[in-house]
């Protein structure tokens, strides 16, 4: 079913997601502070809007894909924001990675205006955003979820309603713990193997079919061997997510010793000027400790 969709936030993830929605037959109105990103989508067939309010006025489904909680709050609640222009019965889908607390607050404010709200963060990074196979974890009302499924499946393959508002972003926090600690564990192993002098490519082939095999291993080992740290998911974004993980965990009484260590690793990488690298760059923290580089023989 074709829908009038507004999309706010045309970055590494948002831009390909918007293109996929157009391919799926939806009509797109877009907004971003980066005019170059807006122009490239207008060329592809989208309509530009001057503000989030204007996006909402022209759409019945409004998607936000922004860096952090404060940006989503500003775009949804602020002056010339989405809720100033959203029609009753329209739906906001926030696909950013924000805190459960902020997500629930936004849903409550949207409800006062008769606007539905879903938190629907994604996993899969830039490659899956491009090919439209993102995993999407959703929090919100079941009826609202069902009303926008055609839009969600325009961007993703595995779309799951996890529970009420805030549950999608909570699932995303859990996802980020698993992904980033997996990269850290893999990095320790790769650095050990590199320092021991074995062929990393052959080791990777030897272990990938066993219990140590993972999506993370298959995605990141080739990048590391190519010394390719161009961000699909940057250290900056993942550091923000793990900061949200720790804040949320401490709020509800959950000690997370490994995640807290990971956050310090991210801060060390930031100090080392690697904040814009892909999170596969976690390996470079360990390489520096051991004075060795993981590379092809």
Residues 122, 115: Cα–Cα separation, whole Å: 22
Which of 283, 238, 233 has the alpha carbon at shortest distance from 128? 233
CA distance 116 to 132: 24
Round to whole Å and give the CA distance between 138 and 120.
4
Please tell me the distance from the alpha carbon of residue 58 to that of residue 55, in angstroms, as a whole number: 5
User: How far is the C-alpha of 203 from the C-alpha of 208, rounded, in Å?
Assistant: 9
First to last CA, the chain: 52
Within 13 Å, how many C-alpha atoms sit on residue 16's CB side? 16
Known catalytic residue at 172 = yes
Q: What sections of 24-123 are H helices per DSSP?
A: 35-43, 52-57, 69-77, 82-85, 100-112
- Among 172, 220, 240, 274, the active-site one is 172
Other Cβ atoms closer than 10 A to 4? 15
Which sequence positions are flagged as catalytic?
A: 172
């Amino acid at each position: 079913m074709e829908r009038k969709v507004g999309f706010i936030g045309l970055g590494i993830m948002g831009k390909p997601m918007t293109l996929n929605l157009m391919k799926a037959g939806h009509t797109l109105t877009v907004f971003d502070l980066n005019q170059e990103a807006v122009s490239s989508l207008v060329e592809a067939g989208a309509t530009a809007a001057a503000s989030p309010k204007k996006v909402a006025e022209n759409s019945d489904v409004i998607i936000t894909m922004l860096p952090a909680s404060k940006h989503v709050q500003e775009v949804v609640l602020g002056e010339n924001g989405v809720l100033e222009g959203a029609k009753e019965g329209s739906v906001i889908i926030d696909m950013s990675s924000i805190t459960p607390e902020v997500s629930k607050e936004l849903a409550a404010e949207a409800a006062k205006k008769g606007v539905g709200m879903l938190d629907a963060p994604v996993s899969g990074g830039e490659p899956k955003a491009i090919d439209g196979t993102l995993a999407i974890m959703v929090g919100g009302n079941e009826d609202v979820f069902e009303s926008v499924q055609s839009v969600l499946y325009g961007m993703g393959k595995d779309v799951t309603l996890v529970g009420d508002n805030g549950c999608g972003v909570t699932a995303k926090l859990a996802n980020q713990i698993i992904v980033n600690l997996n990269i850290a564990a893999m990095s320790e192993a790769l650095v050990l193997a590199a320092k021991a002098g074995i062929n990393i490519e052959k080791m990777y082939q030897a272990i990938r079919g066993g219990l140590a095999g993972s999506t993370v291993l298959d995605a990141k080992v080739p990048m590391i061997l190519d010394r390719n740290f161009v961000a699909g998911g940057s250290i900056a974004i993942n550091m923000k997510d793990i900061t949200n993980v720790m804040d949320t965990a401490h709020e509800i009484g959950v000690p997370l010793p490994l995640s807290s260590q990971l956050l310090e690793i991210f801060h060390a990488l930031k100090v080392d000027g690697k904040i814009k690298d892909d999170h596969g760059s976690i390996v470079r923290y360990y390489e520096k400790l051991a004075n060795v580089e993981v590379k092809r023989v």
